[in-house]
Structure 1
Amino acid sequence: MKKAVYFLTLGLLLGFSSCSSDDDVLSNEAAVSVLNKSGSTAKTAVTDPSIGTTTTLNLTSSLLSSGTTTTGGKYWQDTYTSNTNLTVDIFKFSHSATSTGYNYWDGFIVSNVNDITNYGAAGTGGSNNWVAHQWGAMAGSGFGTSSTIAAGTPGTTGDPYIVAYWSSYMDPQSPEGTTFSEANFSNWIKIGDTGLYQVQGLKINIHPWPYYGCLYGDGFARAFTSGDRFELLIYGVDQSGVITNPIVHSLADYSGSSLVMPTGWVNVNTTDLGDLGNVKYLIFQMASTDSDPTYGINTAAYFCLDKLSVKRVN
């Protein structure tokens, strides 16, 4: 979601002050132009498994042992630390951040927050309340958590999961057929080191901010009406570094008689994942029919993922 104008105004009102508490956190998409994607270049050694091995993303509670406490759980302690990537198993997740004068992040973080409260206020510019509460998933916890842990239950947390924020500010549009560079994209996952992989599985969940924004509007986004849709676009990067055609996963769809937005974890179609071919990276972008021709997507550009599974083929 293009929040540059809003957060620049908010930042001026608050003096772009540094933040010491969770409730004071600012997010400023315009900052991405000066970050130069610094977090994307951090080096972390990853070793490829043997050919034929399948690896599934395993997010453990130890990832949040030093996490930042917020309503409903914790989120990654390095969310606002620059030059730091989240690396789990053989997966390296893009991440850019700053905490100089104001706080900003994009890319991927890990969270176990079980909070699905609606913090928006449609028509009143009320999205600022979301900034301190941008850590949730509508499922309430990662895939596999006991069904006795209901989403939104106070005082309970489940398995960790990945929260992603896509900054479209610098991303090339329709990048298929072009050569990939980490520095040019907000949201990518590098798989292994030098090997090639087939994507076997991936689970996606809608984030509370766009969920309630599509339902009611949130000050930036309008409530969805017939014909609207909110989608996740997933690209691969092949052996030559060329970006594949995207597959499209629906997060919110009003093509029929009502708005369809699953709140549980949903499998990305395995046939579609297979169509990505043998890849070194995955790239994620988002699309919404609620977009501005100048500032881009109005729907909050967050999504959640878990259980990425890949098989090394080369």
Structure 2
Amino acid sequence: MKKVLLALAVLLSGMASAENIVLDLSTPNEPINYDKDGLWTEVFNGEAKVKSQEFTFAHRSPFPQYSCGFFASKMTTILASADYDDQYGCMAKGGVAGEGTPYLGAYWETSNETEDWKSCEVKISSPHYAVGCYVCNSPYSYYVMKNGNNYAAKFEQGSWFKLVAHGLDGNRDEIGTVEYYLADYCSENSDEWKLNDSWEWVDLSSLGKVSSIYFTMESSDTGEWGMNTPGYFCLDKLTVSTEPSSVEEPTVAAVKAYYNRADGAVRIESAEPVMAAVYNMNGALVLNQHVEGTAAIDMSACPSGVYVVRCGDYSVKIVK
């Protein structure tokens, strides 16, 4: 019995001392500047990298107006063009925290990868245990899969597109992989087809203790020169821990709110009943509404400007 109690005490002590490190681009290690559209101003600076918390994200720009690896963005515009003008956005129109909040986009470039340099690698300041991250489709990849273009096929039954996370130890030896399908049309029942358009949690805990994590992509639409589907994805809230962990998906994704200019309404999505309130920048309550599931708050009568939407502990700024 004493041995059991001692083991339990050691376990509880370890749990209490565990520290989770969560990517938060609102508090980066070095300032991240954005242009008027919400794109990182250093996206074409080959020497620049995004550094936040314990993470450093690979990035290169070997020639003008081209970059690969990770880039910061707050872009909300989606053109649905299935072309390069959608390569810097996110289907969620913002990070996990809400529309217009920062997130990371990434372009997986295979031609220049070596054993020592991976285009979509995240280096950690010291070895930590992988926990998980949120991922979402880029609008460029999404609309190519949905509609096709001159270079890539529209997805049909049997098509798929996946992201693969690889864990590396201190010797840069690969110690595990985790796969996540950004699109899955493999079922014969089209009602079961999946095309990701929102943030989804990916459990990376099976990778164990890692010094870095790098991402690759695979697609059923592959030709002589490699993958035809554009190799883009978005990432947020990457989480590692000082101790082995089975952390569940954070509750931050339980509520989403965004402004839909097409109908002049704030769209609310909530997993639980919540009171949604809209405030102007002076802190005055403008509108409120009880939400169960999904709802729309009509702001057509409100003047143009910046507002804050609050739903419980969740809040996001919107521009009308």
Tell me the TM-score normalized by structure 1: 0.67
Query: Going by fraction, where is helix more abundant, 1 or 2?
Result: 1
User: In the alignment, which residue of structure 2 is the partner of 1:171?
Assistant: 113
Distance in 2 (alpha carbons) for counterparts of 1:64 and 1:88: 9
Deviates further, 196-205 or 61-70: 61-70
Contact 1:64 1:76 (C-alpha < 8 Å) held by counterparts? no
Q: What are structure 1's unaligned runs of at least 5 residues? A: 1-50, 121-126, 150-157, 173-179
Contact 2:27 2:52 (C-alpha < 8 Å) held by counterparts? no
Residues 180-235 of structure 1: per-residue CA shift (max 9 Å, x gap):
51x3x11100011xx21111220000110111111110211100111110000100
Distance in 2 (alpha carbons) for counterparts of 1:283 and 1:206: 17
TM-fit CA distance, 1:239: 3.1
Amino acid at match of 2:93: G
Amino acid at match of 1:60: S
Structure 1 position 281 matched with structure 2 position 219: no
User: In the alignment, which residue of structure 2 is the partner of 1:188?
Assistant: 121
Structure 1 position 309 matched with structure 2 position 271: no
User: In the alignment, which residue of structure 1 is the partner of 2:5?
Assistant: none
Contact 1:237 1:281 (C-alpha < 8 Å) held by counterparts? yes
User: In the alignment, which residue of structure 2 is the partner of 1:34?
Assistant: none
**Equivalent runs, 1:1-314 vs 2, <5 Å:** 52-60=18-26, 66-70=33-37, 74-99=38-63, 102-120=64-82, 127=83, 130=84, 132-145=85-98, 149=99, 158-171=100-113, 180-181=115-116, 183=117, 185-192=118-125, 195-256=126-187, 257-258=189-190, 259-268=193-202, 270=203, 273-293=204-224, 295-313=225-243
Distance in 1 (alpha carbons) for counterparts of 2:86 and 2:36: 11
Distance in 2 (alpha carbons) for counterparts of 1:60 and 1:210: 26
TM-fit CA distance, 1:274: 1.7
Q: 1:69 to 1:218 in 2, by over 3 A?
A: farther
TM-fit CA distance, 1:64: 7.6
Contact 1:233 1:284 (C-alpha < 8 Å) held by counterparts? yes
TM-fit CA distance, 1:275: 1.4
Distance in 2 (alpha carbons) for counterparts of 1:244 and 1:306: 23
Distance in 1 (alpha carbons) for counterparts of 2:81 and 2:238: 29
Flag the structure with more relative contact order, 1 or 2, with Cα contacts below 8 A and sequence separation at least 6. 1
Amino acid at match of 2:74: N
* 3-state SS of paired residue (2:186): coil
Distance in 2 (alpha carbons) for counterparts of 1:65 and 1:246: 30
Aligned residues: 224
Distance in 1 (alpha carbons) for counterparts of 2:223 and 2:129: 36
TM-fit CA distance, 1:53: 2.1
Distance in 1 (alpha carbons) for counterparts of 2:87 and 2:172: 33
Distance in 2 (alpha carbons) for counterparts of 1:211 and 1:265: 13
Q: 1:168 to 1:284 in 2, by over 3 A?
A: same
Tell me the TM-score normalized by structure 2: 0.66
TM-fit CA distance, 1:133: 3.5
Amino acid at match of 2:91: M
Contact 1:64 1:75 (C-alpha < 8 Å) held by counterparts? no
Contact 1:238 1:279 (C-alpha < 8 Å) held by counterparts? yes
* 3-state SS of paired residue (1:286): strand
Contact 1:236 1:283 (C-alpha < 8 Å) held by counterparts? yes
Contact 2:132 2:205 (C-alpha < 8 Å) held by counterparts? no
Identity of aligned residues (%): 28
Q: What are structure 2's unaligned runs of at least 5 residues? A: 1-16, 245-320
Residues 101-156 of structure 1: per-residue CA shift (max 9 Å, x gap):
x3210000110111222123xxxxxx3xx2x43211101110022xxx5xxxxxxx
Higher Cα radius of gyration: 2
Residues 44-98 of structure 1: per-residue CA shift (max 9 Å, x gap):
xxxxxxx83211001118878632223xxx1111100012211111100000014
